[in-house]
Chain A
Amino acid sequence: GAVVSQHPSWVICKSGTSVKIECRSLDFQATTMFWYRQFPKQSLMLMATSNEGSKATYEQGVEKDKFLINHASLTLSTLTVTSAHPEDSSFYICSARAPGTSGGASGTQYFGPGTRLLVL
């Protein structure tokens, strides 16, 4: 099946620094990528939808200036957590949607392995 990679897999940083997480679709082009956040023992919370070449669409309550998303190409999206604080510590998972059989938006969604962020 299709593969989505994330880098780094884990990161520890000091409060106030910025952290960039990369998400790549390795064997397909993804016009749409998604960023999720998951707290321990909770489900995934959609943060934003990223479309190649356009601004990301953020979910209600997600600070766009805090979580900068760039979808530079059909295979790469980045999430930058700016001025990270301990409350930003979480498991961040990206996802890329493969084109549906009819070219629409109903294709399978593939998930990256996640990035665990710990802000001290």
Chain B
Amino acid sequence: KQEVTQIPAALSVPEGENLVLNCSFTDSAIYNLQWFRQDPGKGLTSLLLIQSSQREQTSGRLNASLDKSSGRSTLYIAASQPGDSATYLCAVLHTGGFKTIFGAGTRLFVKA
């Protein structure tokens, strides 16, 4: 059974810091891994999608890496801003049944 874990559960940093969010999954049989952002009471916004054959994806200040063999992914946020405050969710598309399995998320707060 695929399980996705995100560490830390919550994180508070001062503005301008670079930070790393971690995601681990138990079964390496995945098609892809996706990072999402969710603002309070809102839906999900896709940030980055990494296919299983890829090692990383970049978008602006965000960089996501994938190490499928070790079951790990990281989301790197450079020069954090208060507007980055949100919950960040990691999700893997498992080959078993084409289901997307979500982690519990990391709640990020960036202080001005």
B31 touches A42 (CB 8 A): no
Asked if B60 is an interface residue, CB under 8 A from chain A, the answer is no
A105 touches B100 (CB 8 A): no
Q: Contact string, B71-99, partner A, CB cutoff 8 A, digits 1/0?
A: 00000000000000000010101000111
A93 touches B43 (CB 8 A): yes
A108 touches B100 (CB 8 A): no
- Chain B contacts of A116 at CB under 8 A? 41
Instruction: Give the complex CA separation of A91 and B46 in angstroms.
Output: 18
Q: Contact string, A85-108, partner B, CB cutoff 8 A, digits 1/0?
A: 000000101010000100011101
How far, in Å, is B49 (CB) from chain A's closest CB?
5
Assuming the contacts A32-B98, A105-B31, asked whether A110 and B104 have C-beta atoms less than 8 A apart, the reply is no
Residues of chain A touching chain B, judged by Cβ–Cβ distance below 8 Å, are 1, 6, 32, 34, 42-44, 46, 49, 57, 91, 93, 95, 100, 104-106, 108-114, 116
- Chain A interface secondary structure, helix, strand, loop or mixed? strand
B100 touches A106 (CB 8 A): no
- Chain B contacts of A114 at CB under 8 A? 42-43
Instruction: Give the complex CA separation of A1 and B42 in angstroms.
Output: 18
B43 touches A106 (CB 8 A): no
Name 28 A/B residue pairs within 8 A (Cβ), A-sorted. Answer: A34-B100, A43-B89, A43-B102, A43-B103, A44-B44, A46-B100, A46-B101, A57-B97, A91-B41, A93-B43, A104-B31, A105-B93, A106-B31, A106-B32, A106-B51, A106-B52, A108-B34, A108-B46, A108-B49, A109-B46, A109-B91, A110-B46, A111-B36, A111-B43, A111-B46, A113-B43, A114-B42, A116-B41
- Chain B contacts of A34 at CB under 8 A? 100
Least CB separation from B105: chain A residue: A43
Q: Contact string, B22-34, partner A, CB cutoff 8 A, digits 1/0?
A: 0000000001101
- Chain A contacts of B46 at CB under 8 A? 1, 108-111
How far, in Å, is B28 (CB) from chain A's closest CB?
15
How far, in Å, is A36 (CB) from chain B's closest CB?
8
How far, in Å, is A45 (CB) from chain B's closest CB?
8
Since A109-B34, A113-B43, A114-B42 are in contact, a sample of 20 more A-B pairs with Cβ atoms closer than 8 Å, ordered by chain A residue number, is A32-B98, A43-B89, A44-B102, A46-B99, A49-B97, A49-B98, A93-B44, A100-B31, A105-B31, A108-B34, A108-B49, A109-B46, A109-B100, A110-B46, A111-B44, A111-B45, A111-B46, A113-B42, A114-B43, A116-B41
